Chain A
Amino acid sequence: MTQTSAIGALRGFFSDLAIRLRSVTRSCATVLPYLFGMGEQRREVTEEYPDPISSRTVDDLPPRTRGLLFNDIDRCTGCRDCARICPTACIEIETEPGANANLIWLTRFNIDFGKCIFCGLCVEVCAPQSLVHTKDYECAGYRRADLVRGFGRGPITLQQRENWASRRRIEQDEEA
């Protein structure tokens, strides 16, 4: 190693050290106002858990609280946009053709709150705005199955399926 490169390496070492030291001391200085509650940094930014101990009720929660999800099944079109965008795949949808060609029957619309991360993406993409965040937050259970909430209409009978199929055929024939 030449003399110049050795000096350069040494200079690099000490400048690197100075950068690290400055970073650490600046971080330490940044937190001082929080530590002593000075100026704007006086208040804690966290909220206490809203339970009877802190005298909080659901109404005290902020308007954009992302609590448990609720799906208004009468407005839901079963488009599956929510299930597609969900990063944790916690929404399970099963549909079948409804009484006429424009309707679908939502057999199953299950949300697994054990997987949900409450990111709110499903609510954002919901075109008919049937999927919303409520302000409910208590969802503890003794079994994993307790964390799954169902909003579907349930399975239809074989007879009903045949009736609807024949009704749709008649509609198609009439249109034709």
Chain B
Amino acid sequence: MSWETLWREAFAIPSEVPGFVIAALALAGVFCLVLVPGAILLSFLSRKLSADIEARIGPNRAGPSGSFQPFADLFKLLQKASPETSRQERIWVLVQASALYASVAALPIGSMTLLLDADMSALVPFWLAIVAALGSVFLGFSERTVASWFSGLRQGAQALSGAFPALVCLISAGIQFGGFRWSRIAAAQGSGPLSWGLFSSPPFQALAFLVFGVSGFVLFSLPPMTPSVETGELSGGAGANLDGRRQILLRFSRFYALFLWSAIAALLFLGGSAIPQAIEQGLVSAGGGGAVAAQLLQMTTLLVKTFLLMFLSIWVARANPRARVEQVTDFSWRILSPLALIALIGTVLWSGGKALL
């Protein structure tokens, strides 16, 4: 059943309403109801958790226990005006952010939001991530200072070093599932941990999961792999000249990148949004709002897995020191890439062996 039929049935949308309107509504709904509240919540939790880990007090001024801190940050950033923001910078921020945000169309948060289910749909967020990384590089190049150019170069080098192992792991997962179609990947996995992609060709898919997760942090410059972004901020590099509204766009894109990568990892290796078949069938056969409830349960399952992965990343990021940019690229080329290749070769042999037997 396609996503469009699910929406038409669930919300009794008449057949005259064209599909693209429903798609637009679905995307707006995912953004407004899932991503933005998730970003606000995660931003606060991330600060509080970091404070706990580092034996600090953390946010405690805005609202009860500092819970309004994300809003305080938002209002502070909105006040920041920068007359120096050039036209080129505006364009590249837009390219970076829109490429990244567009990936939500190819991200199935439950089968109801499976808008793009083509043969290569699992690769679409990856390619959009590459475009977003290039956007960051050109944002650095479009600024007027040498520090910004170098910041752009660093981001390019880091994104490239992270993209290679990530792509290799993605390919190994595709080989394991026999394709890159989201519905195929979802169908190949079950709700129980033993039927997840992670354990499908042990230990190669587990290795691919680990490498895929870490290389995402390198690709998007997420903590603790943030040298290219942070040196930029310190020395007036890429993005330092932007005004507040565009800074919000950039910062939210960093949260979204973490969300995107965690969601893809959960979809490929942790069973995605699969719920036990008995529950799903029971809910659907109950009629009424049962189908919608089953969809919501699927969505919640995926979001819980995604947020757990995000929490894990915050934990690792705060417990470990940040690396320099050449350490990150060195780690990515010399450690992650060989491991990704081992995972790929192992998966090929495992799947080929199974097919032959």
Contacts and interface: CB of A to CB of B under 8 A. Distances in A.
B55 A41 contact: yes
Contacts of B56: 44-46
Given A13-B338, A20-B335, A35-B49, A30 B55 contact: no
Given A24-B320, A41-B55, A44-B55, A31 B335 contact: no
Contacts of A140: none
Contacts of A41: 55
A44 B319 contact: no
A48 B320 CA distance: 25
B160 to A, nearest CB: 22
Given A13-B338, A20-B335, A46 B57 contact: yes
A119 B54 CA distance: 24
A27 B319 contact: yes
Interface of B is mostly: helix
Contacts of A13: 335, 338
The 3 closest A-B pairs by CB, nearest first: A27-B319, A31-B319, A31-B53
A35 B316 contact: no
A158 interface: no
A46 to B, nearest CB: 5
B9 interface: no
A15 to B, nearest CB: 12
Nearest to B56: A46
A34 interface: yes
B338 A31 contact: no
Nearest to B51: A44
Given A13-B338, A17-B335, A20-B335, A34 B55 contact: yes
Contacts of B53: 31, 34-35
Nearest to A23: B320
B338 A30 contact: no
A30 B335 contact: no
B226 to A, nearest CB: 16
Nearest to A29: B319
B315 interface: yes
B318 interface: yes
Nearest to B58: A44
B293 to A, nearest CB: 34
Contact of A44 (B57, B316, B335): B57
Interface in A49-65: 53
A154 interface: no
A48 B55 contact: no
A6 interface: no
B39 to A, nearest CB: 22
A1 interface: no
A46 B335 CA distance: 37
Given A31-B319, A34-B53, 18 more contacts: A16-B335, A17-B335, A20-B335, A27-B320, A28-B319, A30-B319, A31-B53, A31-B318, A34-B52, A34-B54, A35-B49, A37-B52, A44-B55, A44-B56, A45-B55, A46-B57, A48-B57, A53-B61
B259 to A, nearest CB: 21
B19 to A, nearest CB: 46
Interface in B314-355: 315-316, 318-320, 335, 338-339
Contacts of A46: 55-57
A126 to B, nearest CB: 34
14 contacts: A20-B335, A28-B319, A28-B320, A31-B315, A31-B319, A34-B52, A35-B49, A43-B55, A44-B55, A44-B57, A45-B55, A48-B57, A48-B60, A53-B61
A152 to B, nearest CB: 37
B313 to A, nearest CB: 11
A106 to B, nearest CB: 40
B209 to A, nearest CB: 15
B204 to A, nearest CB: 16
